[in-house]
Structure 1
Amino acid sequence: MTTLNTRMMLAGIAMAVSAFGAQAEELRIGTASLGGAFYPVGQAAANLVNKHAPDYTMVPVVTAGGTENPRLIGNGEVDIAIGNANTSFFASQGMPPYQDNIDIASIGTLHSSILHIVTLDGSDVTSISDLKGKRVAVGPAGGGTLNLLNDVLSVHGLSFGDITPSFLSYADGFSQLSDGAVDASIALSGFPAGAVIQTSTTTDIAFVDIGREKLDEIIDQFPYYSIVEVPAEAYGTDGPLTVLGTKNILITQADADEDKIYQITKAIYGNLEEFATENANARQIVASEAYDIAVPLHPGAKRFFDEQ
């Protein structure tokens, strides 16, 4: 994790001085690659902690994303992280792609991420089946995109062996789509996703439709996913998009100090209007959904929500 450690060192010193002259402990929040929604959401959450939790400061850290983040929590490289609900549950149970269970707890829910499957307008890729034999930017290794994409491919009778994957950040993957270096680019991100918007400003793009029948089949097999309606104005499409999605959550170490997590939870979820002002994805947060997360709620977070 040399790259991650370098970024953490560049992010700041391990301790900072608070307004009261006492040392504030610096925490790291794991996000994802640049170009997706996790990093700006993490940055906004960190700003709330810096403002409203006097004993702590927080810096966002670029990571590979939703699949890697539980591992980073488990080995202590980050203190808080944004995770996909499905992969975080897999991590807590020691289910593939994790070899052993990771002792994590949830803090609260965030926005939903959707599976963006994008090609160039006029491409011969108009369905999932058309991805066979194609060059596909699938997001970074360790990102949450890979699990959803694998499940989407499986219901179409395909596997990763049927495509030529490029493991790139969302920003780089969509840049390669613009350049014609890949035939399709995929991102699991909140909407609108920065990488998709940036590409659409210079290149005509098209969304590959999974199809409602296949979406229903995916939900039947994998009930931790959801079907999400994306309004036309999000990407300037002719009509709303019906896509596959998954909830995102904040996670931490299960044995993290209760008062610390209480302060972090209060700083973030006690200031949702401010959160939504800084980041549009935060408008999707429903605080009470914290009680419905499959990953156990941390006692410090539960104490905050019980008070509300």
Structure 2
Amino acid sequence: MKKTTKQVLALSVLATAALALAQGNAFLTIGSGSTTGVYFPVATGMAKLINDANSGVRANARSTGGSVFNVNALATGELDAALVQNDITYYAYKGTGLPAFEGKANAKLRVMAMLYPEVLHLVALKDSKISSVADLKGKRVVIGDLGSGTEQTAKQVLEAYGVTVEDLGQALRVSPAQGISLMQDKRADALFFTGGLGASVIAQIAQTLPVSLVPVAGNQAASLIKKYPFYVRYNIPGGQYKGVGATVPSVAVQATLVTTTGVSEDTVYKAMKAVFDNETALKAIHPSLASNFTLAKAVKGLPAPLHAGAVKYFKEKGLNVK
């Protein structure tokens, strides 16, 4: 019987875990996101750096539904570490902000490092007559996979423009890969995606369709940032995606590498050294890391406390952390 990609990935995780246990190594399953997003190649690259270090820690990256899924899976022990939007990390740690977290604060969440900006992309078909977020009323819109950070960002951006999910002609909660297909088949008019600059999901759509990027700017962006201070303004440079020549104003959150107190200080410390000591190899993983990551930025604006293993690592690097 032919195995699906998810089955192959699951078997790979089990095989790596079994090998780690047999060799007496600690093991980290790192949750990422869709295979067409930025989280997956970043998590995969980090896992490779950990494994190549031969420090007694083995790792494997796992494709998931995204940020909300990841923090819930950290709480159950299904994941040992994960890439998560900083706003979602904060909400989960405090038990607030989203219905999924209300009254369920996860005080065991810990940050390993802040990584790079995750830009809100709103891409629309050029013939859809969508030039503003307000124009999404009555349209078929991909708002992100159920349980993804994109879904939460989409709702908050819509809110800033006085639009609700119910105002949409159709709210499509699908994976980025499915979103690409819906756009290409003209069964969706627009798509939200929160991820690193140059995300393949946006690049693929722009390569195959005449599209535009819809701005998030002005008073609406200001009100969004005031209500949800995790956001910052971010300009998507012209030429980043095919057919989009002008700079487009938008907003961004931050990608965060998160774990829990259930993972030992020694394991996190060794993983940190493997990933962050070789900054050249780290930045080669993805352009989002190459253009944004520094050790100094890695400890700024933390949405939850640093893990003890991360504290040990950053102190060795001369940073004032606790």
Scaled to the shorter chain, the TM-score interval is: over 0.9
Tell me the alpha carbon deviations over residues 236-276 of structure 1, each in whole angstroms, 9 at most, x when there is no partner: 42222211110111000123200000001111111221011
Q: What is the percent sequence identity of the aligned residues?
A: 25
- Say yes or no: does 1:242 pair with 2:246: no
- Say yes or no: does 1:274 pair with 2:260: no
Counterpart code for 2:286: N
Counterpart code for 1:152: V
Give the corresponding residue for 2:272.
Answer: 265
Give the direction of change, closer, same or farther, for the CA distance of 1:302–1:5 in structure 2 (3 Å limit): farther
C-alpha deviation, 1:107, in angstroms: 0.1
Q: Distance in 1 between matches of 2:7 and 2:208?
A: 34
TM-score (norm 2): 0.89
8 Å CA contact 2:221, 2:251 repeated in 1: yes
Q: Distance in 2 between matches of 1:17 and 1:106?
A: 24
Give the corresponding residue for 2:118.
Answer: 113
CA RMSD of aligned residues (A): 1.9
Q: Distance in 2 between matches of 1:230 and 1:51?
A: 34
Give the corresponding residue for 2:13.
Answer: 11
- Say yes or no: does 1:225 pair with 2:226: no
C-alpha deviation, 1:228, in angstroms: 1.0
SS in structure 2 of the partner of residue 232 of structure 1: coil
Give the corresponding residue for 2:305.
Answer: 296
TM-score (norm 1): 0.93
Give the corresponding residue for 2:199.
Answer: 193
Tell me the alpha carbon deviations over residues 105-136 of structure 1, each in whole angstroms, 9 at most, x when there is no partner: 00001111111111112221111111111111
C-alpha deviation, 1:287, in angstroms: 1.5
Q: Distance in 1 between matches of 2:57 and 2:239?
A: 38
Give the direction of change, closer, same or farther, for the CA distance of 1:53–1:107 in structure 2 (3 Å limit): farther
C-alpha deviation, 1:12, in angstroms: 3.8
Give the corresponding residue for 2:181.
Answer: 175
8 Å CA contact 1:109, 1:286 repeated in 2: no
Counterpart code for 2:289: A
Q: Distance in 1 between matches of 2:287 and 2:140?
A: 32
Q: Distance in 2 between matches of 1:211 and 1:294?
A: 25
Q: Distance in 2 between matches of 1:40 and 1:241?
A: 25
SS in structure 2 of the partner of residue 278 of structure 1: coil
Counterpart code for 1:182: A
- Say yes or no: does 1:286 pair with 2:294: yes
Tell me the alpha carbon deviations over residues 130-168 of structure 1, each in whole angstroms, 9 at most, x when there is no partner: 111111111110000122111111121111111221111
8 Å CA contact 1:137, 1:167 repeated in 2: yes
- Say yes or no: does 1:144 pair with 2:149: yes
